[in-house]
Amino acid sequence: MPEAVRAALPALFVSDLHLKEEEPDTVAAFLDFLAGPARGAGSLFILGDLFEYWAGDDDLDAPFNQRVCSALHTLAGHGVGVFFIAGNRDLLAGEGFARAAGLQLLADPCRVRFGRGEDAPLVLLSHGDALCTDDRAYQAYRRQVRDPAWQADFLAQPLAARKAFIADLRQKSEAAKRDKAMEIMDVNAEAVATLLRAHRYPTLVHGHTHRPARHEHDIDGRRCVRWVLSDWHGRATWLTFDGQRFEVVCVTG
């Protein structure tokens, strides 16, 4: 099992902002968050789908992408550790993005220990889409687009062609969602249990489903807590952890 990433407290967790120029209120809320509450944190974890889409690191020159990355880099410059797990919308974010944003890329899932000792709190982080195993069509797609050979071939195409492909894919995805039962697009209980068991029953934090909640699971006689993060449509929402308790913060308007 990989060694846990070390991070400072207090920690903030966000996901599923789906930032795009067409929704300036959400963008403004995120930039305010970075310039305000996030500066009081020891670490910030972005658990995927920060952007509505990411066509590749060669799109970093786009003014919108520059603006977001610059704000993240400024936060890191204030001594806040910024960490990122790629989601299904921004899975092509790579080392170029990490350098521009001043953040550290994390694997999915990733174990994070808050403190130096081995008895320091341990939290397991994930975007969450790998847990939605009942949606077999999506899981087949996920395996395809996360294959390094597929990504290399895709990134070799012109940027304009990639953006056109992504726009078409987004339309098809929204249409497909309308024909799926909501339960299929949520996490599978056994997939959650398998993940928690493999990582020795930690607290799990993830996004993706847009169903914010606190869940308790009895796994092999052990009580495990799972936090599902909120999207940012209509409100700025994050989860805080001070080493002992988690708390949801929501800012509307």
The series of mean pLDDT values per 10 residues for the chain, 253 residues long, is: 91 98 96 98 98 97 97 98 97 98 98 87 97 95 96 97 94 74 86 97 97 97 97 94 97 80
Residue numbers belonging to the annotated binding site for substrate: 88-89, 135, 173, 177, 180, 208
Provide the CA 39 distance to its chain's centre, in angstroms: 19
pLDDT tens digits for range 67-122: 999 999 999 999 999 999 999 999 999 999 999 999 999 999 999 999 887 788 99
Torsion of CA 231, 70, 27, 7, to 10 degrees: 20
pLDDT at 253: 66
pLDDT at 173: 78
Q: Are 14 and 232 in contact (CB under 8 A)?
A: yes
Provide the CA 65 distance to its chain's centre, in angstroms: 17
Residue numbers belonging to the annotated binding site: 16, 18, 49, 88-89, 127, 135, 173, 177, 180, 208, 210
21: Cβ–Cβ under 8 A, 6 or more apart, which residues? 27, 64
pLDDT at 52: 96
Give Cα separations from 253 to 21, 26, 47, 219, 233 (angstroms).
18, 10, 23, 39, 11
Residue numbers belonging to the annotated binding site for Mn(2+): 16, 18, 49, 88, 127, 208, 210
As its CATH architecture, domain 5-250 has: 4-Layer Sandwich (3.60)
225: Cβ–Cβ under 8 A, 6 or more apart, which residues? 203, 204, 214, 215, 216, 217, 246
